[in-house]
Structures are given as structure tokens and as C-alpha cells.
């Protein structure tokens, strides 16, 4: 059965963390959906189709759909991903429906991935103390409540966290391996032609 992943996006989401994860999962055969999480003051929420999300570096990305808590439940997806980017991570992590879903996914044994400032969702969701990592800029907000690590990728049960744009490839490869196994990871990594002795 095809694995399914939901990647959240908002204005201010870090483009590399979003696109590298999305692209890598698709290469592995995962069915990926991106969902736009509007900010509280967003006036576009009445439209049927989501607006472009303006990334942290000004690149416009068109999400697949609006975020709907009813359509994002763990019975419909195997993985929930929260990218970083300060503004985007703030919008996503401060959403109470997202916080509720983070807890549900983990309770039901589904995977949750957080990159960069996206790891703030672990804090806002009230997760129990566990190992994790994040971008250095939000370390101070997380290190008191969690076992903070500076490893590129930290796997704690079904929670997978990573540090930033530069660690997004190993983050995405880890998600592929957890969902589909080491052979699939190697199959995806090979054609990307990484230089020798890199993280792949």
C-alpha cells in the first residue's frame, strides 16, 4: 500500500526544507500532499483554492490544498511534516488544530517530522520530554523541556527532528527509511549523485 505524507506550509515557510522533503518523498513513491495553514489574520481563507505561500526567501509556492483538521487525521496519512522558517513555523506551531494532530499522530504510532524552527511545535503541542533538535535560533526555547541534541537528525520514537536547510536531505532520507526501509533509501539517494563522503 502506498505511504502518504502531509506537509504543512504557511507564509514564511523555509523553501528548501519544504521542497527537499516533498521532492525526496515523491522520489521514494510516497503520495505527498501540501496543506496551507493560514495565519490568524489571513483574509484568503474564504477561497476554495489556497493562495501561494510566500516562503522565507520570497519564493512563491502553490500548496495542494488548505489545511483541514478533518482531512489531516492520522488514519489518512502515515507522516505529518512541519518545516521551519521563523514566520511559517510560528503560524503552524501556534495553530491549536496542528498541536492536536501532532499529539494524535504520535499517540497512534504515526510519524511526525519537524525541521528547524518547526520543532517549536513539539513545545506548543505539550509533548513529553524526549530527545530532539532544531535550528540554533530556537534552542533556548526548547532545551529546558527536551533532551536537546545538536545532531543533524534526531529520531525519538516516531518523532523525527532536524536542524535546518543544510540537514534537510538527511532528514528526508531518514523519513524515507522509516517509512519504506533502507533499500528504498539507497534507491532514492543513488540517482541524486551526492559527492563522496557526504551525509547521504
Query: Catalytic site residues?
Result: 17, 116, 135
End-to-end CA distance of the chain: 26
The Cα–Cα gap between 132 and 68 comes to 27
Beta-sheet pairing, 4-9 with 79-82: parallel
Distances (CA, A) of 13 to 31, 74, 98, 141: 21, 23, 15, 19
Within 8 A by CB and 6+ apart from 105, the residues are 74, 80, 111, 112, 158
With residue 173 as reference, give the H or E element that holds it. Answer: helix 168-180
Using alpha carbons, select from 77, 84, 145, 155 the residue that is nearest to residue 114.
84
The Cα–Cα gap between 12 and 34 comes to 15
Amino acid at each position: 500500500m502506498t505511504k502518504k505524507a502531509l506537509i504543512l506550509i504557511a507564509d514564511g515557510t523555509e523553501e528548501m526544507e519544504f521542497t527537499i522533503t516533498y521532492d525526496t518523498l515523491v522520489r521514494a513513491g510516497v503520495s505527498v500532499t501540501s496543506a496551507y495553514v493560514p495565519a490568524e489574520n489571513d483574509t484568503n481563507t474564504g477561497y476554495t483554492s489556497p493562495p501561494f505561500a510566500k516562503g522565507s526567501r520570497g519564493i512563491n509556492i502553490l500548496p495542494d490544498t488548505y489545511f483541514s483538521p478533518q482531512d489531516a487525521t492520522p488514519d489518512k496519512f502515515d507522516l505529518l511534516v512541519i518545516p521551519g522558517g521563523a514566520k511559517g513555523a510560528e503560524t503552524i506551531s501556534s495553530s491549536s488544530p496542528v498541536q492536536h494532530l501532532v499529539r494524535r499522530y504520535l499517540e497512534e504510532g504515526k510519524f511526525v517530522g519537524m525541521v528547524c524552527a518547526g520543532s517549536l511545535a513539539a513545545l506548543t503541542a505539550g509533548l513529553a520530554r524526549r530527545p530532539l533538535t532544531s535550528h540554533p535560533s530556537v534552542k533556548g526555547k526548547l532545551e529546558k523541556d527536551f533532551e536537546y541534541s545538536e545532531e543533524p537528525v534526531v529520531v525519538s520514537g516516531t518523532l523525527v527532528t532536524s536542524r535546518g536547510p543544510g540537514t534537510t536531505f538527511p532528514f528526508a532520507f531518514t523519513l524515507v527509511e522509516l517509512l519504506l526501509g533502507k533499500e528504498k533509501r539507497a534507491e532514492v539517494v543513488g540517482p541524486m549523485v551526492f559527492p563522496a563522503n557526504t551525509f547521504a
